Amino acid sequence: MADRVWETPETCYMEKLSALAHREMLEAQGFAVTEDVADIPTALIGEAGEGGPVIAFLGEYDALAGLSQKAGLSHHEPIVAGANGHGCGHNLLGSASLLAATALKDWLEETGTPGRVRYYGCPAEEGGAAKAFMVRAGAFEDVDIAISWHPSNFAGVQRETSLANCRIDFSFTGRAAHAAAVPELGRSALDAVELMNVGVNYMREHMPSDCRIHYAVLDAGGISPNVVQAYAKVRYVVRAPELPGLLSLIERVKKVAEGAALMTETKVESTILAGVSNLIVNTPLMDVMQDVWDSIGPPPFDEEDRIFAEKIRATLTPEDISASWSQERLEERDVPLADFILPAHSENRQMGGSTDVGDVSWVVPTVQAYGATLAVGTQLHTWQVVAQGKSPLAHKGMISAAKAMAATGLAAIESEQLREAAWADLKRRRKGQVYTSPIPPGAKPPVAAMTVK
């Protein structure tokens, strides 16, 4: 199934064939399938079992634009130049989570143990925040424990927290005019976008250094310099370590936008497209998953896998390879593939990016694995990830990640004490804050908006 999904790379909310592959597999394995979760056509849930606790396995299957690449090669060669590709390994991500759900379901059946297993097919992880919409729709309300993973250079427990983020479009409306004959009659929306960006760039010095703001001009008002641009649009991504800090930073960005509109006598409207919360890790679940990984050990890579991984590594820079080791705070070693399990080290590390697993982690104790599916040094969102996405080494890394997730889920089903400890840890880490969805009330999943690149 991972190979099938690799063959049909689909982006953000457009994952029709990929969701179909998951639905067919869930039905073949005896899961009852619910589609259109949270009114998202490519989101689905498969459930099996009766009574007992509910264990959720989260899967993803969205691809990335512009990363088309032939499988098994160690040089850059797109299948179709500019087309989509599985540059984040989500073809493996959904498949391993479904495999883990199936293994646990089979165990429940064989042993007659009460308990329910759910596979959550979550689209649009890359920028679409589908899980945040699914959380808002109540899809996780009765879940006891959530488990997921991500393809990586290494195998082990994922201990990083991630940033909360929000995508906002700012649309400025001015008045068109002949830019030479009657410029005084024009009010430039493009000027407003430029001034907003300048204002935000000045604000950077006076915001917390662990926050991030990026922007992309979606519409510069046309191609005619001799027309005062009556309309312009800029998309912002605002990130902060925690949700409350994010919400206050968004308000400051909005003030800058209003200031730009005031200066240019234009009007501004802001639309929040999507947002995700920061990730909350869970100590009791990470401890259990660490024990599981230590007993499973690294994937059974063979000589052929190492030869292919070496070829991929020859396309990487020494900086790429060093970054992989230093991100995990490990001493660099000259191995093409991870031959060890990540040790249990300090957990309060922040990864630069964001994930919509964050929203699930605010409402359900959540734990995630890393699976070793890539030559050491491979960076995500590159052609090298796509090239390795159907390889035997990726399959091995994927299957061992499924084992780690299934065994962690099994421990959670068997131990009420573990589930209670996980919930107590989540409450402690929320520090009395209630989950506030970063998505404004009434906002719908941006299924259509995301199709416009």
Stretch that binds Zn ion, among 87-95, 179-187, 231-239, 281-289 (CB under 5 A): 87-95
| Side-chain half-sphere CA neighbours of 415 within 13 A | 16
CB of 190 to Zn ion, least distance (A): 34
CB of 199 to Zn ion, least distance (A): 32
Spatial CA neighbour of 419 closest among 96, 108, 160, 55: 55
Which is closer to Zn ion, CB of 21 or CB of 421? 21
Footprint (CB under 5 A) of Zn ion, residues 11-70? none
Which is closer to Zn ion, CB of 228 or CB of 374? 374
Stretch that binds Zn ion, among 19-27, 86-94, 337-345, 402-410 (CB under 5 A): 86-94
Which is closer to Zn ion, CB of 208 or CB of 353? 353
Encoding tokens for residue 143? 């879940």
CB of 105 to Zn ion, least distance (A): 25
Pairwise CA distance, residues 27 & 25, whole Å: 5
CB of 444 to Zn ion, least distance (A): 24
Stretch that binds Zn ion, among 81-89, 199-207, 382-390, 392-400 (CB under 5 A): 81-89
Stretch that binds Zn ion, among 1-9, 71-79, 80-88, 334-342 (CB under 5 A): 80-88
Pairwise CA distance, residues 70 & 66, whole Å: 13
Encoding tokens for residue 5? 């999904």
Find out whether 58 and 96 touch, Cβ atoms under 8 Å: no
CB of 90 to Zn ion, least distance (A): 6
Q: Which residue has the tokens 């690799």?
A: 6
CB of 49 to Zn ion, least distance (A): 28
Q: Is 88 a residue that touches Zn ion (CB under 5 A)?
A: yes
Neighbours of 167 (CB within 10 A): 22
Stretch that binds Zn ion, among 88-96, 326-334, 337-345, 382-390 (CB under 5 A): 88-96
Per-residue x/- track, 283-322, Zn ion (CB under 5 A):
----------------------------------------
CB of 250 to Zn ion, least distance (A): 24
CB of 355 to Zn ion, least distance (A): 7
Amino acid occupying residue 286: M
Size of the site for Zn ion (CB under 5 A): 1
Amino acid occupying residue 358: G
Could you tell me the strand order of the sheet in which 54-60 lies? 32-35, 44-50, 115-122, 54-60, 145-152, 366-372, 156-157
Neighbours of 37 (CB within 10 A): 20
Which is closer to Zn ion, CB of 58 or CB of 273? 58
Find out whether 127 and 450 touch, Cβ atoms under 8 Å: yes
Tell how far CA 81 is from the center of its chain: 25
Find out whether 169 and 270 touch, Cβ atoms under 8 Å: yes
Phi, psi of 254 (to 5 degrees): -60, -40
Which is closer to Zn ion, CB of 102 or CB of 162? 162
Which is closer to Zn ion, CB of 199 or CB of 358? 358
Q: Is 143 a residue that touches Zn ion (CB under 5 A)?
A: no
CB of 155 to Zn ion, least distance (A): 16
Which is closer to Zn ion, CB of 192 or CB of 376? 376
Neighbours of 398 (CB within 10 A): 26
Pairwise CA distance, residues 96 & 373, whole Å: 11
CB of 64 to Zn ion, least distance (A): 9
| Side-chain half-sphere CA neighbours of 121 within 13 A | 34
Stretch that binds Zn ion, among 84-92, 215-223, 317-325, 331-339 (CB under 5 A): 84-92
Find out whether 117 and 101 touch, Cβ atoms under 8 Å: yes
Which is closer to Zn ion, CB of 221 or CB of 397? 397
Residue 161 pairs in a beta bridge with: 350
CB of 415 to Zn ion, least distance (A): 30
Q: Which residue is nearest to Zn ion (CB)?
A: 88
Strands 54-60 and 145-152: parallel
Pairwise CA distance, residues 367 & 362, whole Å: 12
Which is closer to Zn ion, CB of 88 or CB of 316? 88
Footprint (CB under 5 A) of Zn ion, residues 359-418? none
What does the H/E/C string look like for 267-314?
Answer: EEEEEEEEEECCCCCCHHHHHHHHHHHHHHCCCCCCHHHHHHHHHHHC
Pairwise CA distance, residues 193 & 171, whole Å: 9
Footprint (CB under 5 A) of Zn ion, residues 165-204? none
Find out whether 123 and 61 touch, Cβ atoms under 8 Å: yes
Which is closer to Zn ion, CB of 282 or CB of 354? 354
CB of 380 to Zn ion, least distance (A): 6
Q: Is 260 a residue that touches Zn ion (CB under 5 A)?
A: no
Stretch that binds Zn ion, among 82-90, 154-162, 293-301, 319-327 (CB under 5 A): 82-90
- Site for Zn ion, rule CB under 5 A: 88
